[in-house]
Structure 1
Amino acid sequence: MDYKKPAEVIALMIQAGTDKGRLGTTDLFIRGALSGMLLGIGTTLAVTGSVQTGIPIVGALLFPICFVVVVLMGLELVTGSFALLPAAYFHKNLPMPVLLRNLAVVYGANLFGSLLYAFLFWASVTGFGQTHASPLIPAIIKIAEAKTTGYAQLGGAGIATAFTKGILCNWMVSMGVVLALTSSSTIGKILAAWIPVFMFFAQGFEHAVVNMFLIPEGILLGAPVTVNDWWLYNQIPVTLGNIVGALLFTAGALYLTYGRKKQATAAPENAHATAVPELQNQMV
């Protein structure tokens, strides 16, 4: 059967985190940069769908396309690594220095890719600053303001809100990574990854890598938002929330209930043979 049981999935999580720890800096950076760009493309696709139809849920249905591409191509998205690497660490397969190095490189690569796409999209939508007629421009500016100065108006409560939305977001995003492991077929992986990512986007939760593109893009398009606003009221608290969500509700909870059991630690007889090619197709 195509479906893998939870204990098998957690064993695959552990192996995926272990394999990620073996990747060199060049591979991590290239795959991370591509992931940042792809999430930017997914975000502009979602905004386009929402603006053209006037129905926000359409954007939420479209956004997971980018996530699926990242999963199927085995790219590196730090929000998924926030779950996979700790699972390997809990199992004593990955030392802490390697975990921290991996996350730092991928975070930086995601940021680089997001900013690169932000420039490319700005150039395409404004004709290198010559026109601002696109209906996407005010929509992106409005979102960028809501994600920064909107929280700033609430003071400490705004920062706490961004942090909380970060937790809820990456619980779902990291579950998308895990659910993709429940299937060995392409269609199965697509559907399994799509569901939780749609759930996070539809409810307006906060994803650190999406915001690495969306807020700088808003600034480029003229939003009255500063770099300080971006990092203080969104990027830092959202990143911390994403870490907590993946660590507690995905890596920690699932490892405690499945990872310590013999059926999870002792993979099936052909697990190593099937896990390696499959895990090469797992991002995040």
Structure 2
Amino acid sequence: MTLSLDTFTPPEVVELITRAGVVKGNMPLQKIFLSSASGGSLLAFACGSLLSTATAPWFQENAPGLIRTVSSMVFPYGLCMIILTGVDLCTSSFLYTTVAALQRRLPWWKMLMHWFITFWGNLAGSLFVVAIIYGYGEVFATEPYKAQVIKFATIKQVKPDFHHIFLRGIGCNWLVCLACYFGLQGRDLTSKVVGIWWPIYAFTSLSLEHVVANMTFIPTAIWLGAPDISVGLYIWKGIIPALIGNIVGAVLFGALYYWYMYGRTETPALEAPPEKGLDGDV
């Protein structure tokens, strides 16, 4: 009995990644910004759900691994919303546009421009949700939610050293690129969602560093008055090492690997229309 899987082959997936990078890299600048602002906002909602689910004082004291597992299982819905609506995150741009540039179908300057705009768009969208929904909406203003938000951010920002966050950022976007890959490999909605879910669960359960997720976690704690976290500390340890690590993880273990393994061959003839599966981002 032969098991048949209705998926794209690895060379076909790399072709889809390339086409997605070409499309995204050639978008008008204002559309890139709006798309990435939407992406940051959607991820911010998932970050809020993770913080809310993790607010379980008894479990935090007696079974911290269990409550981390449960909250990590919730978080990937944000990335699924992002993929299914076709919006942008800088962390997925590091994969898509780099592969397109390696395939010589997107200029390198457009790749870097897409990175730059998506980063600031993600930040704008994340801070909008943090201020308007979580902040003025007082979603986490009461206990024990307030204490959990501050504790979570303190553990992520104050205790680790710069190089710890950098290394965790590499691992995080290595897994994010795998989620992007699976999101394009599946031909149907269920396959895409399941494929995306597990790599994202992995990086969340391991408490790895995602620069866009930090755009919600840390500013929310600052808004609530976290005593040990300042804006300067957030920039120094929440943005810079996580961003550099995410770039290294995506380029080295995502884009370069998939391009070298599957992208330097003849362009595969896809059975599906070129538009199918191109709109996903993580």
Counting only pairs closer than 5 Å after superposition, residues 202-241 of structure 1 correspond to structure 2 as: 202-224=205-227, 225-241=229-245
Give me the TM-score of the superposition, normalised by structure 1: 0.90
CA contact (8 A) 2:50 2:72 kept: yes
CA distance in 2, matches of 1:125, 1:267: 52
The CA distance in 2 between the partners of 1:112 and 1:21, in whole Å, is: 20
Paired position in structure 2 for 1:80: 92
Number of residue pairs aligned between Structure 1 and Structure 2:
268
Residues 269 and 121 of structure 1: is their aligned pair in 2 closer, same or farther, counting only changes over 3 Å?
Answer: closer
Query: For residue 10 of structure 2, what is the aligned residue in structure 1?
Result: 6
**Any conservation in 2 of the 1:125–1:134 contact (CA below 8 Å)?**
no
Q: Which runs of 4+ in 1 moved over 3 A?
A: none
| 1:102-181 equivalences in 2 (<5 Å) | 102-119=114-131, 120-125=133-138, 132-151=141-160, 158-181=161-184
- 1:278 aligned residue: 277
Question: Identity of paired residues, percent?
Answer: 30
In 1: Cα distance, 2:143 partner to 2:80 partner? 28
Q: Is there any run of 5+ residues in structure 1 with no aligned partner, and where?
A: 152-157
TM-score normalised by length of structure 2: 0.91
Distance in 1 between residues matched to 2:217 and 2:79, nearest whole Å:
16
2-structure distance, mates of 1:205, 1:90: 27
Contact map agreement 1:50 1:57 (CA 8 A) in 2: no
Q: Helix, strand or coil for the counterpart of 2:106? A: coil
Question: Counterpart in 2 of 1:252?
Answer: 256
Q: Distance in 1 between matches of 2:101 and 2:138?
A: 43
- Report the Cα offset of residue 126 of structure 1: 5.7
Read off the aligned partner of 1:203 and give its amino acid letter: L
CA distance in 2, matches of 1:193, 1:63: 11
Q: Who is 2:82 aligned against? A: 70
RMSD: 1.5
List runs of 5+ in structure 2 lacking aligned partners: 60-66
Following superposition, the deviation at residue 147 of structure 1 comes to: 2.0
1:129-176: CA deviation from partner (whole Å, max 9, x where unpaired): xxx42322111111211222223xxxxxx1110000000000001111
Which residue in 2 is equivalent to 1:267? 268
Letter in 2 for 1:123: Y
Within 1, Cα distance between the matches of 2:208 and 2:215? Answer: 14
Q: Please state how far the C-alpha of 1:278 moved relative to its aligned partner.
A: 2.3
Once the 2 structures are TM-superposed, how far is the Cα of residue 275 of structure 1 from its aligned partner?
Answer: 2.3
